[in-house]
Amino acid sequence: MLPTDYQPERYHELLNEKVANVLTDFKALEAPEPQIFPSPTHSFRMRAEFRVWHDSDELNFVMFERERPREPIKISAFPFGSSRIQAVLEPLRILLKNNATLRTKLFQVEFLSTLSGECLVTLIYHQKLDEAWVLEARQVEEVLNITVVGRSRGQKLVASDDWVAETLQVDGQSFIYKQPEQAFIQPNAEVNQGMLSWACAQTQTKDQDLLELYCGIGNFTIPLSRHYRRVLATEVSKVAIRAAQENLVLNGIENVTFARLSAEEVTQALNSEREFRRLKSLEPPLNDYDLGAVFVDPPRAGLDEGTIKLCQRFNQILYISCNPLTLIDNIKNLSETHRIEALAFFDQFPYTHHLECGVSLIRRESNESTN
């Protein structure tokens, strides 16, 4: 997303075009009218990354167009970035330019910011870093009031911390999240709050338990936990699971259990096809859960065949997707047993063709037709 893509005067027109491009396919699946969650027109990205371009004594942050991958575009302003990223961008560039220790063999810079005003910067190098780097990074932290992490191949140095704390508002309640460097974080925090509110509004009953796949750091897990008796949430990333467990403590939540399992492994465990040592200490035991609903937020490739069959066991499927095409394909299979009760579009990425979707699918009655 380049600054040249910034067209705030056309924002609603562009959003309507995105919705129109996919809505017909959803209507063909008998979807109801969607709820649409627009984005702020500027300062909406909590994350950003830039290549670092060295030219003699100059140092610039740059991006590249896909059609011209060898022609760097200098980034002097980034209106998509959060207000915190925008405030730090140029002062950081100048500090790096004038500091031989920090600029040498630096090739990428990544930003992670929060609505609550924190900012973490990761500097990535083509050389090994040492304690001299840490001392200089701490000086930058003090001057810019940010957190700095350094990375090179097989190495990570932390000047002070490697995470930021975010506070999100969902239906009048505040939730605190520890967001680690290089974990997956929803890029548009304002729209993320809308996604969380929508997901919570779709819940059916507090008398059953929820299975969540691809839970990450607990972004959806934490607010959804208020709407179920218990939640069993799964994720493969060790970094994400550690953060998710800390986020439970931060929010005083006691009815969630995390398990480090892939979606395929969850299917094997529920089918009693394989025993996992990681589940030996599960409390309560897996067989004690009364799982009435499943929540999924998969990668762009969507759900595999085994996970689709797993989801079809549940009365309700809550599905958040970053790829409408794979979502539509998945729904065609899920519609054998479920119908779409609610549909929503979330504009996580303004001024691009990307559109985040949410669907709530409910099990069909025995006399309902799929035609």
In the residue annotation, 356 being an active-site residue is answered as: yes
Pair 31, 57 in one domain: no
Average pLDDT over the chain reads: 94
* CATH number reported for the structural domain that contains residue 197 in this entry: 3.40.50.150
Pair 137, 258 in one domain: no
In the residue annotation, 166 being an active-site residue is answered as: no
pLDDT band at 370 (very low <50, low <70, confident <90, very high): low
Question: In terms of residue numbers, what domain contains 263?
Answer: 3-41+186-363
- For residue 169, pLDDT over 70 is answered with yes
Cβ pair 154, 127 in contact under 8 A = no
Q: What are the φ/ψ torsions at residue 83 (nearest 5 degrees)?
A: -60, -30
DSSP state, 277? Answer: G
pLDDT (0 to 100) of residue 304: 92
Pair 140, 226 in one domain: no
pLDDT band at 369 (very low <50, low <70, confident <90, very high): low
pLDDT band at 205 (very low <50, low <70, confident <90, very high): confident
| Catalytic one of 119, 265, 356, 357 | 356
Q: What is the mean pLDDT of residues 131-136?
A: 98
Structural domain total, the chain: 2
pLDDT (0 to 100) of residue 332: 96
pLDDT: is 345 or 282 the higher one?
A: 345
Token code pair at residue 23? 């809505």
Pair 26, 56 in one domain: no
Pair 267, 146 in one domain: no
Token code pair at residue 254? 């006691």
| Catalytic one of 322, 357, 365, 368 | 322
* CATH number reported for the structural domain that contains residue 158 in this entry: 2.40.50.1070
Token code pair at residue 80? 């998509």
pLDDT band at 371 (very low <50, low <70, confident <90, very high): low
